[in-house]
Amino acid sequence: MTKRYFGTDGIRGKVGEFPITPDFILKLGWASGRVFTREFNREGGCQVIIGKDTRVSGYMFESALEAGLVAAGVNVKLLGPMPTPAVALMTRKQNAEAGIVISASHNPYYDNGIKFFGADGSKLSDEIEHAIEAELELPLTTVQSRRIGKVVRVEDAAGRYIEFCKSTVPEGFSLRGLRIAVDCANGATYHIAPNVLRELGAEVIAMGVQPDGFNINEGVGSTDMAALSAFVREQKADIGIAYDGDGDRVLMTDARGEILDGDELVYIIAMHRLATGHSDAGVVGTQMSNLGLEIALREAGLQFARAKVGDRYVKALMETNGWHVGGESSGHIICSNVTTTGDGIIASLQVLMALQAAQGNLDALRAGLTMYPQTMINVPVGGRVDLANYPALDKAVASIEQRLGTQGRVLLRPSGTEPKVRVMVEGKCQHQVRQLCEELVSEVARILA
């Protein structure tokens, strides 16, 4: 059954445009509170954790969610600005029934959204999301006054999460002697990531750590790496680390400012685990993962499986296969034996552990990986589209695939978070890949017009 509001990563859109409006978010808080109360029915009342990133509309939606939840009889704990994975962690640590994050992740400040976690710190199941959407169709009511929920603010949530992050590396692990440039995207990691790295001994030079409610992801962070690349070279850093606005993605650079995407970071983590005897049989990627990653892992004796795009699908396939490492090119990386969801800080620490073992030689860590040239272009559309309703697209894709032969791939998919269709072409020749992708984009735009 198709969901009306939930996409691959919660509900997201432009602030002030339905459904990202105060009245809808109030109703969403109430509807989710009703579902959580019914599902868990815990004596003493249901409890939900709320965190947010740094965008200005977070204050408005925090209040709206809070009002809706307490009207449904749910007790609320507010964390304030915190990375998305920190909310997942605190949901488990606080023994709450659910966690909610107010964030549009890597989007600009004028967008916002709502993400949910279950009691185990994982994304909600499709069944729970369907149940919440069903409640949204009902009139909003308020529980009896004696059952209205209470609200408290969790003190030192940031400190607790910092300690957790440090606990994921071995006793005695030190970053002393390493000069690290960190870009926090003026987002939710601004008061977390630099402190984690400093407390582990690194010399940290930070950018993107002055959020004002409007500058989140603006020319900084993992979706715009040019600033960090330049910063790394200017500051003569050994390595650069960039997070996105809500801290569930990470990309990195070497000392030259050259970018390592999520596929390269997954490779480094997987190969380090293989070298230290802590590897599973395989790794999970997505339809967007570079063909070079698949080839390199298989040459190393590891299996590779592709999930649909979205960290919830990566996590589900990891669980099915019994594997503990998975990720996306965008930098969503899950190390499920460490934490329950994609976590930029945790993933960066996993890479830094590999770097320490390689005595700081980042080039050696990725020597076995040859990335295939890949071009992706977004085609704006009017709303959600079902590509299966456009048979002409199959013909256009087949024509490009025929010209690539066995040395490449083509992928068309609607974005789960934006009104766009993503067109990706991959192959051995950069010039050919770019040319074919642009040709296909023109055809897709014409067909969907």
CATH value at residue 199: 3.40.120.10
Residues 274, 407 within the same domain: no
Decide if 58 is inside a domain.
Answer: yes
Do 41 and 129 belong together in one domain?
A: yes
Point out the domain boundary residue: 257, 291, 308.
257
pLDDT in tens, the chain (449 residues): 688 999 878 999 999 999 999 999 999 999 999 999 998 876 667 999 999 999 999 999 999 999 999 999 999 999 999 999 999 999 999 999 999 999 999 999 999 999 999 999 999 999 999 999 999 999 999 999 999 999 999 999 999 999 999 999 999 999 999 999 999 999 999 999 999 999 999 999 999 999 999 999 999 999 999 999 999 999 999 999 999 999 999 999 999 999 999 999 999 999 999 999 999 999 999 999 999 999 999 999 999 999 998 888 999 999 999 999 999 999 999 999 999 999 999 999 999 999 999 999 999 999 999 999 999 999 999 888 899 999 999 999 999 999 998 889 999 999 877 889 999 999 999 999 999 999 999 999 999 98
Q: Which runs of E-coded beta strand occur in 273-332? A: 282-286, 303-307, 325-327
**Do 265 and 215 have their domain in common?**
no
Residue 2 lies in a domain: no
Beta bridge partners of 326: 284, 334
Q: State whether 59 and 143 are in the same domain.
A: yes
Residues 111, 12: Cα–Cα separation, whole Å: 7
Give the integer Cα–Cα distance in Å for 221 and 207. Answer: 9
In a domain, 6, yes or no: no
Q: Are residues 205 and 92 in the same domain?
A: no
Pair of tokens at residue 395: 């013909």
Of 335, 365, 395, the last residue of a domain is 365
Residue 3 lies in a domain: no
Q: Based on the fold, state whether residues 329 and 378 are members of the same structural domain.
A: no
Asked if 92 and 127 sit in the same domain, the reply is yes
- CA angle, 414 then 186 then 11, to 5°: 35
- Identify whether residues 266 and 339 lie together within a single domain: yes
**Contact indicator for 412, 422 with CB cutoff of 8 Å:** yes
Q: Give the residue among 45, 66, 28 at the shortest CA–CA distance from 146.
A: 45
Crossing angle for the helix pair 344-357 and 262-275, to the nearest 10 degrees:
50
Structure tokens at 332: 């969503």
> Is residue 423 in a domain?
yes
Cα(49)–Cα(75) distance, integer angstroms: 9
Q: Are residues 142 and 75 in the same domain?
A: yes
Residue 31 lies in a domain: yes
Reply yes or no: is the peptide bond before residue 22 cis, omega within 30 of 0.
Answer: no
What are the angstrom distances between the C-alpha of 214 and each of 48, 132, 251?
A: 27, 30, 22
> Which residues are known to be catalytic?
105
Q: How many domains does the chain have?
A: 4
Per DSSP, the chain holds a count of helices (H) and strands (E) of: 14, 18
Q: Is 118 helix (H, G, I), strand (E, B) or coil?
A: strand
Same domain, 64 and 26: yes
Cβ neighbours for 262, distance < 8 A, ≥ 6 positions apart = 249, 250, 251, 327, 328, 329, 330, 331, 332, 333
Range of the domain at 188: 160-257
Same domain, 268 and 351: yes
Handedness of CA 307, 310, 316, 319 (dihedral sign): positive
Q: At what angle do helices 344-357 and 157-167 cross, to 10 degrees?
A: 30
Nearest residue to 101 via CA among 111, 88, 89: 88
142 burial type by CB count under 10 A (0-12 exposed, 13-18 middle, 19+ buried): middle
Q: Give the pairing of strands 151-153 and 98-102.
A: unpaired
Co-location of 438 and 380 in the same domain: yes
Domain's final residue, options 365, 388, 416: 365
Output the domain CATH number for residue 391.
Answer: 3.30.310.50
Measured at the CA of 162, the angle between CA 157 and CA 164, to 5 degrees, comes to 95
Q: Is residue 1 part of a domain?
A: no
Structural contact between residues 270 and 249, judged by C-beta atoms closer than 8 angstroms: no
Judge whether 100 lies within some domain. yes
